[in-house]
Each structure stands twice: as C-alpha cells, then as structure tokens.
A and B are shown apart, each in its own frame.
Chain A
Amino acid sequence: MSAHAERAALFLVDQPRSAWHDQAVWWVRQKRDRAASALPEWEELRDQASRIKAHALSRLADYLEEFERNATRWGARVHWARDAEEHNRIVHGILAERGVTRLVKSKSMLTEECHLNPYLIARGIEVIDTDLGERIVQLAKESPSHIVMPAIHKKKEEIGDLFHDKLGTPAGLSDPAKLTEAARAHLREKFLAAQAGLTGVNFAIAETGGVVVCTNEGNADLGASLPSLHVACMGVEKIVPRAKDLGVFLRLLARSATGQSVTAYTSHFHGPKPGGELHIVIVDHGRSKLLAREEFRRSLQCIRCGACMNTCPVYRRSGGHSYGVTVPGPIGSVLAPSVDPRKHAGLPFASSLCGSCTDVCPVKIDLHHQLLAWRSELSREGFAPRRKRLAAKIGALVLGSTWLYRLSGWLARRVVPRLPRALVYSRLNAWGRGRELPEMPRDSFRAQWRRRGQP
C-alpha cells in the first residue's frame, strides 16, 4: 500500500467520522455550485482566467522583472529565493536585523510548504498563525488538512477541549461563536504585541507592482498594517499582467472556494504604510522545474481555491492529512511528485480519475490528465509500487492478446462465481476489500452483441 492509502485506511477506521468529513466538504462544493451557476458567464470567466494565466506563465520572467520594478518604485523591497531554505533564511534575516521576536502570520501555503514556522521558532521568534483555522491546528501541533479550511477535520468539541487546555475557555464549551470570540480576544493581544506581520500573496500585479491578499477574517490586514514591518511571501507563479485581470480572478476565487461572491477583504498593497517597511519575497522552490515540463506546466495556473479538494471523492473520504503534503487533494497530488517523486509516488494514484476536479477548476487545469501523466512517468521511472507495476504489466499482456483476453473473461464469468468466498475476498484481491464484486454476466459482451446483431 502507498503511504497515502495507509493513512487513508486509518482515517476510515472511524466510519461515522469519515462520513461526517465527506458531508462537510461536499457541502462546500454545493455552495460553490450555487455561486457558479448564478453567473451565466461562468464558463467564459474560466476560459479567460485560464488564458491569462497561460500567457503570464509564458512570459513569467519578464513580468516578474516588471513587477519588481514597479513594486520597488512604491518603496517595497523585493527578495528572491531559489528554494525553501533560502526563503526561510531571507525571512529570518529581515526579522533578525530588526530585532523582531514576535511575528503574526496570516494564511500562506507557501510558508507552510517551506516549513518557515519551525525554522523561525528554532531561532527564538514567536510565530503566531492568526487565521482561526490555522491557529487551531497550530495549537494542536498539527498541519492544515485543507488549504482554505485548515481545521475542517476537527470537530467543535475537540476545538473546545483544545481551547480549554490552551486558552482557558470553560470546560465543555463547544459553541463556535463563543470559541471564535475566545480566539478573537487571544489573537488581538498577539496582534497588538507583534513587531511584524507576514502574509501570503494571492495575486501580484506586474503592471502596478502591487500584491493582493484575500481574507475573510481581516487577520492579514491587522497583521500587515498594525506593526511597521510587513513581509509578503509569494511563489513566482502568482503574477497577473494587469490590474484589470483581477476582475476575472476575484470573481472566480471566492465563488470557487466557499461560494461567497468575494472574500470580506481584498487588500491591495502598493508599497509600505507611511513610515513602515514592505518586503516581498519571491520564491521558486521547484516551480521553474514544473514550468519546463509541458505536460505539468498548467498546474502552475492554480489560484489555491480548494475546489478540486472539495469535489474529490478520494479527498473527501480520506482527509487532507492522508496526503502527507501541504497542499492535498488533486492539485497537491500533481504538485508534490515534482518536488520529491520517490516520497510522493503514491499520490497520483490517490484518484479515481473521475475528472470532477478538472470540471470545477476555475482556471481550467486539466488535473485528472496530469494525474494520469504522473502515473505513467512514475511507473517508467520505477517509482510506482511494485504491485501496481505488476498489475499494469499483466493488464497490458491480457489486453494485448485476443485469446488471453477471451480466456480471462471466461474465467471471470465461469470460474470466479464458483470459487469459495474466502478465496475471492482474500488479501490478494484489493478490489474485494470493502465492497462486493459485481455479479458476473452469463455471456460475454461479444456473445451478447452477436445475438443482438441478428434481428
């Protein structure tokens, strides 16, 4: 079994809980559907968004230079990081130079990907995640299980226990409004005490040199605008050419993510606040490698809405932690193998290839095709599990030979139904686990077709 399958099996031990998770995530997918279908121009918007991103990727270096020029003009300082290690070093350098020991962060999947928090904490900096979901998983010493709803896997009673333990809320409190209020009071103290704020970046506008950050809670704005120092971290792929392009992306993003027409706050930062500092860290960390691969390039169009997770039958039933990467779900399974093919070889197989992810993707990434492309590449490179490779070999052999194909069909129809149950549903048959095999037809398709063909 792949690492994903093993962790998914653990998640599935508690059946009512995994069913609850499935429903919770599906509910978000339904909200997305309602929001999308309310716009007759939805498909045109997706098409436009996809074309803008494809263009931006085709001239990424030029646009990044243009972005840097303009951002610098407004007084921002732009830094470049080849990989996670350099990114962490740069961010720590900025903070250390100014004697910062207390940092508040809003959601940034990039810094999760780079494991910035442990890096800074090990160097004596207090790092507080301020997005409520992220704060919950941080207090629980876990990682986010979803990129938009980091604590989607947790029940309110568990959060109540956690807050009782860490924030001193009354024992047994599980009302979301009261728990949120407790977190508000706790985090306000952190905001007021912080010497610097770090945010992610949803979009970087080449034409104007601004970065755009979207939140519902307002935590990015408190974090970025209360202290004098704002650090914004972005992957190279966050570029959009023109400000007007945001009209397209912002109409798609929140609707795809949560079914809202827009997030509560869409903040545009052009330069630091009066008397403050704005540092923008541009990170590659494997993205240029992905850009060079024609079959996987489009995955860089991702705007991190999470819609592909919410719709994925595998994600919904296996939970975000089963993927073992920062970005789970279909998009994560496409991105992860490019970073470490051996470690993440199982992820492209964590899909039924139903194509639902591709259908909901607001920037039209051909996700299930990319998952399939990874499967063949990983198999070719010898990273696919041995049993999967063996099964594929046998499959190719059977499907490539008429008589073997007929023989195996005959065996399945005539012999399998007579075999003892213990043998058919033994450990050898992965398809017999957790489900019943279909009833075997009496005749082959060919025989049925021949009969039909004679009226």
Chain B
Amino acid sequence: MGSREEILARLRSAAVPARELPEARRFGERSADLRARFAQSLTDAGGRCVPLPSAEALPAALEQLAPYRDGRRIASLVPGVPRANVRVDEIADPHDLRDVDLAIVPGELGVAENGAVWFTDRGLRHRVLPWIAQHLALVVHAERLVNDMHEAYERIELGNGFGCFISGPSKTADIEQALVIGAHGPRSATVFLIG
C-alpha cells in the first residue's frame, strides 16, 4: 500500500463520529461608513489611504508620492500612468524586476475591517511584482469596498492562479517586538481609493 492509501486508511479507521458542518454565515455588524473604516484600518496596518474623486485624478495624486516622483523604475499594471517605464509583460525573468522602485497594481476589492486589498495575478506574467518592488501602490474603486472577510469571500473568485489580501506594507516585529516597516517586501503601501 502506498503512503497515500495508508494515510487515508489510517484517517478513516480513526472513525471520528460525524459532526455537522455549520452553515456558512457572516458575523458582526455592518459599517455605516466603509471608506472611513477602510482608511483607518489601513493606517493601523502601516499603510496609507488616499481618496480620489475619479480615476483621472490618479496621475496628479501619484506626483505627491515620493517613490513615484523620485523613483527611476516604475511598473504599472494600471493604465494611464505617465511615468510608468517598466513593461512587466515584456520581461521574461522576474529577477529582472529586482530594481523596480514602485509597483502600481489594481485591487479588485477592499476590506474595511482590516485595510486589505484583494490582488490577483489574472493576466499578469509575474505575480511577484508587489513584493519585489521597493514600494507599492494599489488602486481600488470605493464601490468595491466590503465590510469584512466574510463579505470578501462572498465576492472573490478563487481558482486557477494566485490571489492575495494585501494589508499595508511588509512588516516585522521579530526584534524585541519593535514594529519595523519594510521587512522583505514593499517599504510602503498606498491605496488610492477611487470614487
């Protein structure tokens, strides 16, 4: 008998009495002001939320962002970013993204309770982009905000590929629990919230 069959047989022979799967449901209250709650949660997570009236306001808002203003290599998966100069899809080896100063990526959804943005690699060649870049900007539409993780999982589609809830910049507290921003991944995370 192979390991697979043996393990499955052992688990079955444990004869655990049947326990019902509870119905999936959401818990907790709904927020009256999702934008404000999202911005606060993101701040708590070490990130920053910048509300914008419309997508047209993005280039001007980016000019206020130091990594955009001063960065040499900027990769954007969001169209209409004037200073984007790294074409991610034309790069064969993701290691060549090592000197990207700022990555600008679209987010499909924002979660008000924890400031997380759902990012996927749909149509993207190098899923490592948000982590290899020194700084990260995410663009999310405000109508795509949900209250909490329960609602988030009702909306997102899982399967074939990669998806990540990104909540703020990379961080660590492994040295005497002092919070340090910028462990391995992005040193800053800015979410542009549109609408």
B165 touches A226 (CB 8 A): no
Q: Which of B21-29, B56-64, B65-73 makes up part of the contact surface?
A: B21-29
Residue A24, interface by CB 8 Å: yes
- Tell me, in angstroms, the Cα distance from A191 to B7 when the chains sit together: 34
Residues 345-393 (chain A) with a chain B CB within 8 angstroms = none
Is A9 in the interface zone, CB < 8 Å from B?
A: no
A-side interface size class: 35 or more
Interface residue range, chain B? 35 or more
Determine if A187 is an interface residue (Cβ-Cβ < 8 Å).
yes
Specify which of B20, B128, B154, B166 lies most central, judged by the most chain A CB atoms within 10 Å of its CB: B128
User: Given contacts A258-B173, A270-B161, is CB(A250)–CB(B149) below 8 Å?
Assistant: yes
CB neighbours (8 Å) of B150 from chain A are: 244, 247-248, 251
| Complex Cα spacing A221 to B45, Å | 18
Is A180 a contact of B158 with CB atoms below 8 Å?
no
Q: A52-B22, A130-B184, A184-B184 known; A82 and B153 CB under 8 Å?
A: no
Say whether A266 contacts B116, CB under 8 Å: yes
Find out whether the CB atom of B132 lies under 8 angstroms from the CB atom of A155: no
Complex contact B153–A292 (CB within 8 A): no
Question: Taking A74-B160, A179-B175, A270-B158 as contacts, is the C-beta distance between A222 and B131 under 8 angstroms?
Answer: yes
Q: Tell me if B41 is interfacial: C-beta within 8 Å of chain A.
A: yes
Does B127 touch A at the CB level, under 8 Å?
yes
Known pairs A58-B18, A210-B159, A246-B153; list 15 more (Cβ under 8 Å).
A52-B21, A59-B16, A59-B18, A74-B160, A80-B3, A82-B6, A176-B178, A180-B183, A181-B182, A243-B153, A266-B165, A268-B163, A270-B162, A273-B121, A273-B126
Residues of A within 8 A of B (CB): 24, 27-28, 39-41, 44-45, 48, 51-52, 54-55, 57-61, 64-65, 74, 80-82, 86, 130-133, 136, 149-152, 154-156, 159, 176-177, 179-181, 183-184, 187-188, 191-192, 205, 208-210, 216-219, 221-222, 225-226, 236, 241-248, 250-251, 258, 260-271, 273-274, 282, 284, 288-289, 291-292, 297
| Interface residues in chain B, defined as those with a beta carbon under 8 Å from any beta carbon in chain A | 2-4, 6-22, 24-29, 41, 44-46, 94-95, 98, 111, 113-116, 121, 125-128, 130-132, 148-154, 158-178, 180, 182-186
